[in-house]
Structure 1
Amino acid sequence: MNTAQSPGATREPDERTSADTQRFARPLVVLHWLIALCIIAMLGVGLYMVGLPKGLPFKSTVINFHKSLGMTVFLLVLIRIMVRMAYGRPPLPPMGAWQRAAASTTQALLYVGMVAMPLTGYLGSSFNKYGTKFWGLPLPQWGRDDPQLREAFFTAHGVIAWVLIALILLHFAGAMKHHFIDRDGLLRRMWT
Protein backbone atom coordinates (compact mmCIF):
# COMPACT_ATOMS: atom_id res chain seq x y z
CA MET A 1 0.00 0.00 0.00
CA ASN A 2 1.36 3.37 -0.99
CA THR A 3 1.27 5.81 1.95
CA ALA A 4 2.80 8.73 0.08
CA GLN A 5 0.43 11.63 -0.44
CA SER A 6 -0.10 13.23 -3.78
CA PRO A 7 1.47 16.69 -4.17
CA GLY A 8 -1.85 18.56 -3.93
CA ALA A 9 -3.21 16.63 -0.96
CA THR A 10 -3.58 18.34 2.37
CA ARG A 11 -2.25 16.71 5.45
CA GLU A 12 -2.83 17.30 9.09
CA PRO A 13 -0.03 19.42 10.57
CA ASP A 14 1.77 17.94 13.52
CA GLU A 15 1.15 19.46 16.96
CA ARG A 16 4.38 21.51 16.94
CA THR A 17 3.67 23.12 13.56
CA SER A 18 0.08 23.85 14.53
CA ALA A 19 1.12 25.44 17.84
CA ASP A 20 3.77 27.57 16.13
CA THR A 21 1.34 28.93 13.55
CA GLN A 22 -1.04 29.91 16.36
CA ARG A 23 1.56 32.04 18.16
CA PHE A 24 2.65 35.58 17.50
CA ALA A 25 6.14 35.97 16.06
CA ARG A 26 8.82 36.32 18.73
CA PRO A 27 9.60 40.00 17.88
CA LEU A 28 5.92 40.84 18.43
CA VAL A 29 5.88 38.98 21.75
CA VAL A 30 8.97 40.84 22.95
CA LEU A 31 7.59 44.20 21.82
CA HIS A 32 4.20 43.47 23.41
CA TRP A 33 5.65 42.83 26.86
CA LEU A 34 8.26 45.60 26.64
CA ILE A 35 5.60 48.13 25.66
CA ALA A 36 3.25 46.81 28.37
CA LEU A 37 5.91 47.28 31.06
CA CYS A 38 6.79 50.77 29.77
CA ILE A 39 3.13 51.83 29.66
CA ILE A 40 2.47 50.59 33.19
CA ALA A 41 5.56 52.48 34.42
CA MET A 42 4.63 55.58 32.43
CA LEU A 43 1.04 55.62 33.72
CA GLY A 44 2.26 55.08 37.28
CA VAL A 45 4.80 57.89 37.04
CA GLY A 46 2.23 60.13 35.33
CA LEU A 47 -0.36 59.60 38.06
CA TYR A 48 2.33 60.17 40.71
CA MET A 49 3.74 63.36 39.18
CA VAL A 50 0.40 65.18 38.82
CA GLY A 51 0.04 65.03 42.60
CA LEU A 52 3.46 66.55 43.28
CA PRO A 53 3.38 70.15 44.51
CA LYS A 54 5.01 72.85 42.38
CA GLY A 55 8.53 73.81 43.30
CA LEU A 56 9.69 70.35 44.39
CA PRO A 57 13.33 70.02 43.32
CA PHE A 58 12.94 66.56 41.76
CA LYS A 59 9.57 67.18 40.08
CA SER A 60 11.23 68.23 36.81
CA THR A 61 13.31 65.03 36.86
CA VAL A 62 10.14 62.94 37.27
CA ILE A 63 8.39 64.87 34.50
CA ASN A 64 11.35 64.47 32.12
CA PHE A 65 11.52 60.75 32.90
CA HIS A 66 7.78 60.47 32.11
CA LYS A 67 8.22 62.35 28.83
CA SER A 68 11.20 60.24 27.77
CA LEU A 69 9.39 57.02 28.63
CA GLY A 70 6.33 58.22 26.71
CA MET A 71 8.38 59.01 23.59
CA THR A 72 10.11 55.61 23.93
CA VAL A 73 6.69 53.92 24.00
CA PHE A 74 5.69 55.93 20.93
CA LEU A 75 8.76 54.70 19.01
CA LEU A 76 8.29 51.11 20.18
CA VAL A 77 4.64 51.20 19.08
CA LEU A 78 5.66 52.45 15.63
CA ILE A 79 8.20 49.61 15.41
CA ARG A 80 5.55 47.16 16.59
CA ILE A 81 3.12 48.33 13.90
CA MET A 82 5.78 47.79 11.23
CA VAL A 83 6.75 44.37 12.62
CA ARG A 84 3.10 43.32 12.80
CA MET A 85 2.59 44.38 9.19
CA ALA A 86 5.60 42.23 8.25
CA TYR A 87 4.68 39.16 10.32
CA GLY A 88 0.89 39.39 10.49
CA ARG A 89 -0.98 37.81 13.35
CA PRO A 90 -2.23 34.31 13.96
CA PRO A 91 -5.94 33.64 13.52
CA LEU A 92 -8.19 33.93 16.54
CA PRO A 93 -9.51 30.70 18.03
CA PRO A 94 -13.18 29.91 17.44
CA MET A 95 -15.40 32.41 19.25
CA GLY A 96 -18.62 34.31 18.81
CA ALA A 97 -18.92 37.24 16.43
CA TRP A 98 -19.43 39.70 19.30
CA GLN A 99 -16.19 38.49 20.93
CA ARG A 100 -14.27 38.91 17.66
CA ALA A 101 -15.71 42.41 17.26
CA ALA A 102 -14.86 43.29 20.89
CA ALA A 103 -11.31 41.96 20.51
CA SER A 104 -10.70 43.82 17.24
CA THR A 105 -12.21 47.06 18.53
CA THR A 106 -10.26 46.94 21.81
CA GLN A 107 -7.02 46.20 20.01
CA ALA A 108 -7.55 49.00 17.48
CA LEU A 109 -8.37 51.46 20.26
CA LEU A 110 -5.29 50.36 22.21
CA TYR A 111 -3.13 51.18 19.19
CA VAL A 112 -4.85 54.56 18.75
CA GLY A 113 -4.34 55.32 22.44
CA MET A 114 -0.69 54.24 22.41
CA VAL A 115 -0.03 56.66 19.53
CA ALA A 116 -2.31 59.53 20.60
CA MET A 117 -1.18 59.64 24.22
CA PRO A 118 2.51 60.42 23.61
CA LEU A 119 1.61 62.74 20.72
CA THR A 120 -0.72 64.86 22.86
CA GLY A 121 1.85 64.93 25.67
CA TYR A 122 4.59 65.98 23.28
CA LEU A 123 2.42 68.63 21.63
CA GLY A 124 1.32 69.95 25.02
CA SER A 125 4.96 70.23 26.04
CA SER A 126 5.71 72.02 22.76
CA PHE A 127 3.50 74.89 23.89
CA ASN A 128 5.37 75.63 27.10
CA LYS A 129 8.77 77.11 27.81
CA TYR A 130 10.30 73.80 28.92
CA GLY A 131 9.68 71.64 25.85
CA THR A 132 10.52 67.94 25.79
CA LYS A 133 13.85 66.26 26.36
CA PHE A 134 14.17 62.71 25.09
CA TRP A 135 16.58 61.12 27.55
CA GLY A 136 18.35 64.49 27.80
CA LEU A 137 18.21 65.38 24.10
CA PRO A 138 15.95 68.41 23.45
CA LEU A 139 13.24 67.74 20.86
CA PRO A 140 11.88 70.47 18.57
CA GLN A 141 9.14 72.66 19.96
CA TRP A 142 6.25 73.20 17.56
CA GLY A 143 4.94 76.43 19.04
CA ARG A 144 5.34 79.30 21.42
CA ASP A 145 4.50 79.31 25.11
CA ASP A 146 0.69 79.20 24.83
CA PRO A 147 -1.24 78.27 27.99
CA GLN A 148 -4.53 77.63 26.15
CA LEU A 149 -3.08 75.22 23.57
CA ARG A 150 -0.93 73.57 26.25
CA GLU A 151 -3.99 73.04 28.43
CA ALA A 152 -6.03 71.66 25.52
CA PHE A 153 -3.36 69.08 24.65
CA PHE A 154 -2.73 68.16 28.30
CA THR A 155 -6.48 67.76 28.89
CA ALA A 156 -6.67 65.40 25.91
CA HIS A 157 -3.56 63.63 27.24
CA GLY A 158 -5.24 63.08 30.62
CA VAL A 159 -8.50 61.83 29.09
CA ILE A 160 -6.60 59.44 26.82
CA ALA A 161 -4.67 58.17 29.86
CA TRP A 162 -7.91 57.14 31.60
CA VAL A 163 -9.32 55.62 28.41
CA LEU A 164 -6.06 53.72 27.94
CA ILE A 165 -6.22 52.42 31.52
CA ALA A 166 -9.79 51.21 30.89
CA LEU A 167 -8.74 49.54 27.61
CA ILE A 168 -5.77 47.84 29.28
CA LEU A 169 -8.04 46.49 32.02
CA LEU A 170 -10.52 45.29 29.38
CA HIS A 171 -7.69 43.67 27.39
CA PHE A 172 -6.38 41.96 30.54
CA ALA A 173 -9.87 40.80 31.57
CA GLY A 174 -10.44 39.34 28.10
CA ALA A 175 -7.12 37.49 28.21
CA MET A 176 -7.95 36.08 31.66
CA LYS A 177 -11.42 35.01 30.48
CA HIS A 178 -9.93 33.15 27.54
CA HIS A 179 -7.26 31.55 29.71
CA PHE A 180 -9.27 30.52 32.78
CA ILE A 181 -12.85 30.18 31.52
CA ASP A 182 -12.65 29.36 27.81
CA ARG A 183 -9.28 27.55 28.10
CA ASP A 184 -8.75 28.11 24.38
CA GLY A 185 -5.01 28.79 24.46
CA LEU A 186 -5.38 32.42 23.41
CA LEU A 187 -2.98 33.70 26.09
CA ARG A 188 -0.23 31.30 24.99
CA ARG A 189 -0.14 33.07 21.61
CA MET A 190 1.53 36.07 23.28
CA TRP A 191 3.66 34.15 25.75
CA THR A 192 7.31 33.24 25.31
Structure 2
Amino acid sequence: MSKTHYHPASIFFHWFVFLLVIAALIVIELKGQFPKGSEPRELCKTVHGVIGQLIFIAMALRLMIRLTHGVPTPTNPKPVFISLAKAMHWLLYALLLIAPIFGILYFQYGGKEIHFFGLVWPQLLTPNPEMKKIAEGIHEFLGNSLYFLIGIHALAGLWQHYVLKDDTLRRMLNKIKVHA
Protein backbone atom coordinates (compact mmCIF):
# COMPACT_ATOMS: atom_id res chain seq x y z
CA MET A 1 0.00 0.00 0.00
CA SER A 2 1.41 3.41 -0.94
CA LYS A 3 1.43 6.32 1.45
CA THR A 4 -0.80 9.26 0.41
CA HIS A 5 -0.32 11.79 3.25
CA TYR A 6 2.55 13.61 4.89
CA HIS A 7 2.89 13.06 8.62
CA PRO A 8 1.28 16.04 10.45
CA ALA A 9 4.63 16.86 12.07
CA SER A 10 6.24 17.02 8.60
CA ILE A 11 3.60 19.51 7.50
CA PHE A 12 4.05 21.55 10.68
CA PHE A 13 7.84 21.73 10.33
CA HIS A 14 7.61 22.52 6.60
CA TRP A 15 5.52 25.63 7.24
CA PHE A 16 7.30 26.51 10.51
CA VAL A 17 10.67 26.54 8.74
CA PHE A 18 9.14 28.57 5.90
CA LEU A 19 7.97 31.21 8.42
CA LEU A 20 11.35 31.18 10.17
CA VAL A 21 13.16 31.74 6.86
CA ILE A 22 10.86 34.68 6.07
CA ALA A 23 11.48 36.09 9.57
CA ALA A 24 15.26 35.66 9.15
CA LEU A 25 15.12 37.55 5.84
CA ILE A 26 13.03 40.39 7.31
CA VAL A 27 15.29 40.81 10.34
CA ILE A 28 18.53 40.78 8.35
CA GLU A 29 17.13 43.26 5.83
CA LEU A 30 15.92 45.47 8.71
CA LYS A 31 19.48 45.43 10.09
CA GLY A 32 20.59 47.54 7.14
CA GLN A 33 18.31 50.38 8.26
CA PHE A 34 20.47 51.06 11.32
CA PRO A 35 24.01 52.46 11.57
CA LYS A 36 26.88 50.03 12.12
CA GLY A 37 27.56 49.39 15.79
CA SER A 38 24.16 50.69 16.89
CA GLU A 39 22.11 48.77 19.43
CA PRO A 40 19.15 48.12 17.06
CA ARG A 41 21.52 46.76 14.39
CA GLU A 42 23.18 44.40 16.89
CA LEU A 43 19.73 43.31 18.11
CA CYS A 44 18.74 42.46 14.51
CA LYS A 45 21.88 40.33 14.15
CA THR A 46 21.17 38.57 17.44
CA VAL A 47 17.53 37.87 16.52
CA HIS A 48 18.65 36.64 13.08
CA GLY A 49 21.09 34.30 14.83
CA VAL A 50 18.41 32.90 17.16
CA ILE A 51 16.11 32.34 14.18
CA GLY A 52 18.93 30.55 12.37
CA GLN A 53 19.43 28.25 15.36
CA LEU A 54 15.68 27.53 15.40
CA ILE A 55 15.82 26.73 11.68
CA PHE A 56 18.63 24.25 12.32
CA ILE A 57 16.74 22.53 15.17
CA ALA A 58 13.45 22.46 13.23
CA MET A 59 15.20 21.00 10.17
CA ALA A 60 16.92 18.33 12.25
CA LEU A 61 13.54 17.35 13.69
CA ARG A 62 11.93 17.45 10.26
CA LEU A 63 14.57 15.13 8.84
CA MET A 64 14.11 12.71 11.74
CA ILE A 65 10.37 12.66 11.06
CA ARG A 66 10.98 12.17 7.34
CA LEU A 67 13.34 9.27 8.01
CA THR A 68 10.99 7.59 10.49
CA HIS A 69 7.63 8.25 8.79
CA GLY A 70 8.63 8.60 5.14
CA VAL A 71 6.95 10.73 2.50
CA PRO A 72 3.94 10.09 0.27
CA THR A 73 4.35 8.42 -3.07
CA PRO A 74 4.85 11.11 -5.75
CA THR A 75 1.67 11.92 -7.68
CA ASN A 76 3.48 12.66 -10.94
CA PRO A 77 4.56 9.34 -12.48
CA LYS A 78 7.30 10.84 -14.70
CA PRO A 79 10.71 9.77 -13.37
CA VAL A 80 12.37 13.05 -14.38
CA PHE A 81 9.96 15.06 -12.19
CA ILE A 82 10.40 12.64 -9.30
CA SER A 83 14.19 12.94 -9.59
CA LEU A 84 14.08 16.75 -9.80
CA ALA A 85 11.76 16.95 -6.78
CA LYS A 86 14.01 14.67 -4.71
CA ALA A 87 17.10 16.65 -5.68
CA MET A 88 15.37 19.95 -4.83
CA HIS A 89 14.21 18.69 -1.44
CA TRP A 90 17.60 17.32 -0.40
CA LEU A 91 19.35 20.49 -1.61
CA LEU A 92 16.94 22.62 0.42
CA TYR A 93 17.48 20.40 3.47
CA ALA A 94 21.25 20.70 3.10
CA LEU A 95 21.17 24.48 2.75
CA LEU A 96 18.77 24.85 5.69
CA LEU A 97 21.21 22.90 7.87
CA ILE A 98 24.51 24.26 6.54
CA ALA A 99 23.62 28.00 6.40
CA PRO A 100 23.00 28.23 10.18
CA ILE A 101 26.33 26.49 10.82
CA PHE A 102 28.14 29.18 8.83
CA GLY A 103 26.15 31.82 10.73
CA ILE A 104 27.48 30.37 13.97
CA LEU A 105 31.00 30.31 12.52
CA TYR A 106 30.57 33.99 11.59
CA PHE A 107 29.72 34.89 15.19
CA GLN A 108 32.44 32.65 16.64
CA TYR A 109 35.18 34.03 14.36
CA GLY A 110 33.93 37.52 15.16
CA GLY A 111 34.36 36.86 18.87
CA LYS A 112 30.68 37.68 19.45
CA GLU A 113 28.54 35.91 22.00
CA ILE A 114 25.90 33.60 20.58
CA HIS A 115 22.68 33.71 22.58
CA PHE A 116 19.93 31.11 22.49
CA PHE A 117 16.98 31.78 24.79
CA GLY A 118 19.03 32.98 27.73
CA LEU A 119 21.93 30.63 27.18
CA VAL A 120 25.29 31.73 25.83
CA TRP A 121 27.35 29.39 23.67
CA PRO A 122 30.96 28.93 24.72
CA GLN A 123 33.57 30.52 22.49
CA LEU A 124 34.82 27.45 20.61
CA LEU A 125 36.95 29.20 17.98
CA THR A 126 39.68 31.78 18.21
CA PRO A 127 38.41 35.08 16.81
CA ASN A 128 39.83 35.60 13.33
CA PRO A 129 38.71 38.54 11.16
CA GLU A 130 39.75 36.82 7.91
CA MET A 131 37.82 33.64 8.72
CA LYS A 132 34.88 35.76 9.89
CA LYS A 133 34.74 37.40 6.46
CA ILE A 134 34.91 34.00 4.71
CA ALA A 135 32.18 32.53 6.93
CA GLU A 136 30.04 35.63 6.33
CA GLY A 137 30.45 35.35 2.56
CA ILE A 138 29.55 31.65 2.55
CA HIS A 139 26.57 32.24 4.86
CA GLU A 140 25.31 35.05 2.65
CA PHE A 141 25.77 32.97 -0.52
CA LEU A 142 23.93 30.02 1.03
CA GLY A 143 21.13 32.32 2.22
CA ASN A 144 20.69 33.89 -1.22
CA SER A 145 20.80 30.44 -2.84
CA LEU A 146 18.18 29.30 -0.38
CA TYR A 147 15.80 32.14 -1.27
CA PHE A 148 16.26 31.38 -4.97
CA LEU A 149 15.58 27.65 -4.48
CA ILE A 150 12.57 28.34 -2.25
CA GLY A 151 11.15 30.46 -5.07
CA ILE A 152 11.64 27.62 -7.55
CA HIS A 153 10.16 25.16 -5.03
CA ALA A 154 7.06 27.34 -4.56
CA LEU A 155 6.63 27.84 -8.32
CA ALA A 156 6.93 24.08 -8.88
CA GLY A 157 4.25 23.47 -6.24
CA LEU A 158 1.93 25.99 -7.88
CA TRP A 159 2.65 24.53 -11.34
CA GLN A 160 1.79 21.05 -10.10
CA HIS A 161 -1.39 22.36 -8.47
CA TYR A 162 -2.72 24.61 -11.25
CA VAL A 163 -1.25 23.11 -14.43
CA LEU A 164 -0.83 19.42 -13.69
CA LYS A 165 -3.77 19.49 -11.24
CA ASP A 166 -2.21 16.90 -8.95
CA ASP A 167 -2.48 16.56 -5.16
CA THR A 168 1.06 17.60 -4.22
CA LEU A 169 0.21 21.03 -2.78
CA ARG A 170 -3.00 19.81 -1.13
CA ARG A 171 -0.99 17.09 0.61
CA MET A 172 1.38 19.65 2.12
CA LEU A 173 -1.62 21.73 3.19
CA ASN A 174 -3.23 18.56 4.63
CA LYS A 175 -6.28 19.17 2.39
CA ILE A 176 -6.21 15.99 0.33
CA LYS A 177 -9.32 13.99 -0.28
CA VAL A 178 -8.47 10.37 -0.96
CA HIS A 179 -10.15 9.07 -4.09
CA ALA A 180 -11.51 5.53 -3.82
CA distance in 1, matches of 2:40, 2:26: 16
TM-score, length-normalised on structure 1?
0.85
> Alpha-carbon deviations, 1:166-190, whole Å to 9, x = none?
1100100000001111111111111
> Alpha-carbon deviations, 1:140-184, whole Å to 9, x = none?
222122101111111000000110001100100000001111111
Structure 2: where are the runs of 5+ without partners?
Answer: 175-180
Identity of aligned residues (%): 25
2:67 equivalent to 1:85: yes
What does 1:1-192 correspond to in 2, within 5 Å? 21-50=3-32, 52-192=34-174
> Alpha-carbon deviations, 1:78-100, whole Å to 9, x = none?
01111111100011013322212
Between 1:50-59 and 1:105-114, the stretch displaced more is 50-59
Q: Which SS does the other structure have where 2:74 is aligned?
A: coil
Kindly provide the amino acid, as one letter, of the partner of residue 86 in structure 1. Answer: T
Structure 1: where are the runs of 5+ without partners?
Answer: 1-12
Number of residues of Structure 1 aligned to a counterpart in Structure 2: 174
Kindly provide the amino acid, as one letter, of the partner of residue 157 in structure 2. Answer: A
Higher-Rg member (1/2): 1
TM-score, length-normalised on structure 2?
0.91
RMSD: 1.6
> Alpha-carbon deviations, 1:10-38, whole Å to 9, x = none?
xxx9xxxx8xx311011111111111111
Structure 1 residue ranges (4+ consecutive) displaced by more than 6 angstroms after TM superposition:
none
